Structure 1
Amino acid sequence: MTRWIAILLVLILAAAGAVATDAWRAMQAKIRPSELPTTFVLEEGSSWSALVRDLERRQWLQAPRDSLYLRLFGRLNDQTTRLQAGEYRLVQPVTAQELLAMLVAGRVVQHSVTFIEGWTLAEALEALRAEDNLKHTLPEEREQAIAQLRESLGIEAANPEGWFLPETYHYTRGSTDREILERAHRAMKAALEAAWAERAEGLPLDNPYALLTMASIIEKETGAPEERGRVAGVFTRRLQRGMRLQTDPTVLYGRDPERSGRLRRIDLVTDTPYNTYTRGGLPPTPICLPGRASLQAAANPAEGTALYFVSRNDGTHVFSDTLAEHNRAVNRYQRGGGE
């Protein structure tokens, strides 16, 4: 009898050893998606067992018994109660321990959307609508979306144009379009406050909003970083002398939306609140989303004597002190008149 008990004990220990070995193998085995890299979403409130079922359904486990051992692992490891919901990316096979560490740490996928300097708010809204990983909460109709933003963000201006800093904003799956815009608005308020605090003395700008408007014009007038200060200087001197800004981008922004293409003479002589050929001073609102560099240029324009500039058609401009010099530059670069 004693002999059979000993044999039974040996068999039990052998079986237990085999199970333990198999379980150890399952813990060390790699969870292998059929394609890499790949992403998966852990929904809010999901348990470790639910995750294991999802891995099994996706056929990411190597052996049929692996799901059983992974569930047992979840019961024995209290960290499996601290999973963070979100979207995760696997770029290589991982063990159960490695996967658990990722989920507990919340190393979720970071997406990004970029607002380009010089974009209008309408263009920023279009970029957000193109983001499939965002939750879209704003109305599709542009004017309704803009009206909601203005109200929710407490923007006093009738048109919230310009109040969103052009930068790259990172977000996680399920974030809302409104959250991105709220961050961009806070960033712009901070950048504008900093630029206003560091502004040069004697600027013909009454308040930070005027600086924001000036910066938006500078942003649209030149893409050459080294020219921003000089362009700001021209506009500053023109305002100081009571001259009209006569800048095409403001006319483009304010003209009839039914019209498109290049500016024509009819656009320059048709009066609108944004036509700086027919009206003095700054336009009533910014005309785009200006970047930090344009804010700094508006706050600290370059010194000089130029009152005019014209495009060379290569992204740079010719600056002139007098109207006669300016007309010669216009003739050369815009009308093909040569020297």
Structure 2
Amino acid sequence: MNNKIIGFVLLILSFVGGWLWMDYQSALTKPVLVGETVYIEIEKGDSLNRIIDKLVAQKLAVKPFWFKVVALQENALKKLKTGEYELTSELTLPEIIALFVQGKTKQHAITFPEGWSFKEILHEIEKNPNIEHTLSSVDFKSIMSKLESEATAPASPEGLIFPDTYFFEKHTPDVSVLKRAYDKMQQVLQQEWLNKEENLSFKTPYEALILASIVEKETGVAAERPLIAGVFIRRLEQNMLLQTDPTVIYGMGESYQGDIRSKDLTTATPYNTYVISGLPPTPIAMPGRDALHAVLHPAKDDSLYFVARGDGTHVFSATLKDHNSAIDKFQRNKK
């Protein structure tokens, strides 16, 4: 009798063991997610049970027992990193745990286009729900102090943010995003400055940055940037006013409503280059690398004027007479 009982128990244990082994193998190899991508956020302080609950809540076919077993086998219990994770179809349980251990979090993106002002950058950051916002109601000078510790740093961050696409984890502070973009501009500016042409009149890289921001706003045609840079540089060298509309618009601030009137051209602001001589005090936008390269490698000709054709390109002239003729042809006759 006892032998029969023992045999029966052994049979049951063998059956259970076999079932557990097959269930374990299934947990290792069967995808826990089939279909749409889901997102899981592991927050600071989340326990293993809390993480499992989040996975189950997203309809992942995760068995808590095997999750804990695999995590223990992988020595992952204390290595799961916080962050937002993108879980795609066909991932298995070990692969998901590996993602959590390696900290391969979902990367969000934000883009700062060339030619944007710093206010436009801040607005783009403020409306991004994945960034931690800390700069509300902070003035430009205070922001600059967070980006650059040197006492000689410019008071304004205008133009000092490199236009590019930046990837970041959810809850990254706005200051961290700006600091990366600021450091990138410093790197690019230094690279371009070191490779500049000889005998340029710029005393500092910052002066080149200011002019590059004006060139960036004047044209979106890459081939024209060295030509426009050359015009402005020659005007500076000959003590001529730059007379560029984008600086006037920047100086008008919120009062600009899409039109520059005659009185706007004669109203003195630090940025009205129809009134002030030389460069404005700061950049007026974010220049890209091409604009920076253009002002440090300007076209060598004798043009001192340019006027828009109306198709995005410009006519360049060496004399005021030719310039006025171009204005008559491409501007006045169209009005």
TM-score range, shorter chain: over 0.9
Counterpart secondary structure, 2:167: strand
Distance in 2 of aligned mates of 1:297 and 1:263: 27
Offset, 1:113:
0.7
Give the paired residue count: 331
User: Would the aligned equivalents of 2:309 and 2:315 in 1 still touch at CA under 8 Å?
Assistant: yes
Q: Tell me the residue number matched to 1:27.
A: 28
| Runs of 4+ deviating beyond 6 Å | none
Deviations along 1:68-91, whole A, 9 cap, x unmatched? 332333334313432222111122
Q: Tell me the residue number matched to 1:147.
A: 141
Distance in 1 of aligned mates of 2:331 and 2:201: 30
Q: Tell me the residue number matched to 1:49.
A: 49
Offset, 1:92:
0.6
The letter for the 2-side match of 1:43 is: E
Q: How does 1:163-178 map to 2 (within 5 A)?
A: 163-178=160-175
1:120 pairs with one of 105, 117, 127? 117
Offset, 1:6:
2.2
The letter for the 2-side match of 1:316 is: T
User: Would the aligned equivalents of 1:217 and 1:287 in 2 still touch at CA under 8 Å?
Assistant: yes
Distance in 2 of aligned mates of 1:226 and 1:11: 81
Unaligned runs of 5+ in 1: none
Q: How does 1:1-339 map to 2 (within 5 A)?
A: 1-32=2-33, 36-61=36-61, 66-139=63-136, 141=137, 144-154=138-148, 156-255=153-252, 257-336=254-333
Distance in 2 of aligned mates of 1:57 and 1:240: 68
Greater shift, 66-75 or 117-126, is seen at: 66-75
Distance in 1 of aligned mates of 2:243 and 2:74: 71
Offset, 1:256:
5.1
User: Would the aligned equivalents of 2:217 and 2:285 in 1 still touch at CA under 8 Å?
Assistant: yes
Distance in 2 of aligned mates of 1:25 and 1:196: 60
Identity across the alignment (%)? 37
Deviations along 1:147-203, whole A, 9 cap, x unmatched? 321222236333321111111111111111100111111111111112222222222
User: Would the aligned equivalents of 1:61 and 1:67 in 2 still touch at CA under 8 Å?
Assistant: no
Counterpart secondary structure, 1:276: coil
Deviations along 1:201-227, whole A, 9 cap, x unmatched? 222222111111111111111110000
Distance in 1 of aligned mates of 2:190 and 2:253: 33
User: Would the aligned equivalents of 1:49 and 1:74 in 2 still touch at CA under 8 Å?
Assistant: no
Q: Could you say what the CA RMSD is over the residues aligned between the two structures, in angstroms?
A: 1.9
Distance in 1 of aligned mates of 2:146 and 2:5: 81
Distance in 2 of aligned mates of 1:73 and 1:188: 45
Distance in 2 of aligned mates of 1:204 and 1:12: 89
TM-score, length basis structure 2 = 0.93
User: Would the aligned equivalents of 1:47 and 1:81 in 2 still touch at CA under 8 Å?
Assistant: no
